[in-house]
Chains A and B, each alone.
Chain A
Amino acid sequence: DAKTTQPTSMDCAEGRAANLPCNHSTISGNEYVYWYRQIHSQGPQYIIHGLKNNETNEMASLIITEDRKSSTLILPHATLRDTAVYYCIVRLRNSGYALNFGKGTSLLVTP
């Protein structure tokens, strides 16, 4: 799996958009970008994934640059419950291997 780089921590005001960046400059053509988050004392939660097109679901939007070397996860209206560690993971979609979690970004949403 390609390596990813994320900021260690970020703050966001409640109600504002949270934009979490991820660099994955060594991504290969058939690797997807996955985002998970882990709220304190819970298991990781799947958020979204994409290959090269921008994706949106009920939780978030994923913007992938044209060269696919970086991406941004957008939480459009952050709430206090979005405070969590967010992990960006690059891998083949149907990979049978486990997810490799790096350090992620600790997002703190403040009132």
Chain B
Amino acid sequence: GAVVSQHPSWVICKSGTSVKIECRSLDFQATTMFWYRQFPKQSLMLMATSNEGSKATYEQGVEKDKFLINHASLTLSTLTVTSAHPEDSSFYICSARPGQGSDQPQHFGDGTRLSIL
């Protein structure tokens, strides 16, 4: 089945640093990828929609200058948390959707647990 790989799985870093998270579709081309954030005991919340070759669409309340998304190829999207602070600590999850017209469901990476000290 479709596989989405997310890296790294766990990051611990100091406040003020930037962290890049990669999301790759391993066996299909993904024209669209999604980035979610999940706080403890809560459900997944969509942060942004990433379309290959164009700017990401951010959900209301998500700072686009803080959460930089790049979707430069059909198999890779990256999320960079810039100048991270403790309140950015969360579980970040990406999902990928096969190309337009496909009836395949979205598939998810295993998430990245980000801890900012």
Q: Assuming A46-B106, A94-B103, A102-B43, is B111 touching A41 (CB within 8 A)? A: yes
Q: Is the CB of B43 within 8 A of A46?
A: no
Q: Is the CB of A98 within 8 A of B43?
A: no
Query: How far apart are the CA atoms of A38 and B111 in the complex, in Å?
Result: 11
Query: How far apart are the CA atoms of A98 and B34 in the complex, in Å?
Result: 7
Query: How far apart are the CA atoms of A45 and B1 in the complex, in Å?
Result: 11
Q: Is the CB of A43 within 8 A of B110?
A: yes
Q: Is the CB of B46 within 8 A of A43?
A: no
Q: Is the CB of A101 within 8 A of B102?
A: no
A45 vs chain B, min Cβ distance (A): 7
Q: Is the CB of B91 within 8 A of A99?
A: no
Q: Assuming A101-B43, A104-B43, is B105 touching A43 (CB within 8 A)? A: no
Which residues from B are CB-within-8-Å of A46? 1, 105-108
Mark B4-40 against chain A: 1 for CB-CB distance below 8 A, else 0: 1010000000000000000000000000101010000
Nearest A-chain residue to B48, judged by Cβ:
A98
B: contact size bracket? 20 to 34
Q: Is the interface of A mostly helix, strand, loop or mixed?
A: loop
Which residues from A are CB-within-8-Å of B1? 46
B36 vs chain A, min Cβ distance (A): 8
Which residues from B are CB-within-8-Å of A42? 110-111
Query: How far apart are the CA atoms of A99 and B32 in the complex, in Å?
Result: 12
Q: Would you call A77 an interface residue if the criterion is a C-beta within 8 Å of the partner chain's C-beta atoms?
A: no
Chain A stretch 25-40: residues in CB contact (< 8 A) with chain B: 34, 36, 38
Q: Is the CB of A103 within 8 A of B106?
A: no
Which residues from A are CB-within-8-Å of B44? 38, 44, 101
Q: Would you call A111 an interface residue if the criterion is a C-beta within 8 Å of the partner chain's C-beta atoms?
A: no
Q: Would you call A68 an interface residue if the criterion is a C-beta within 8 Å of the partner chain's C-beta atoms?
A: no
Listed by A's residue number, 5 A-B pairs whose Cβ atoms lie within 8 Å are A41-B91, A41-B113, A43-B4, A94-B103, A96-B97
**A interface residues (Cβ-Cβ under 8 A, vs B):** 34, 36, 38, 41-46, 49, 87, 93-94, 96-104
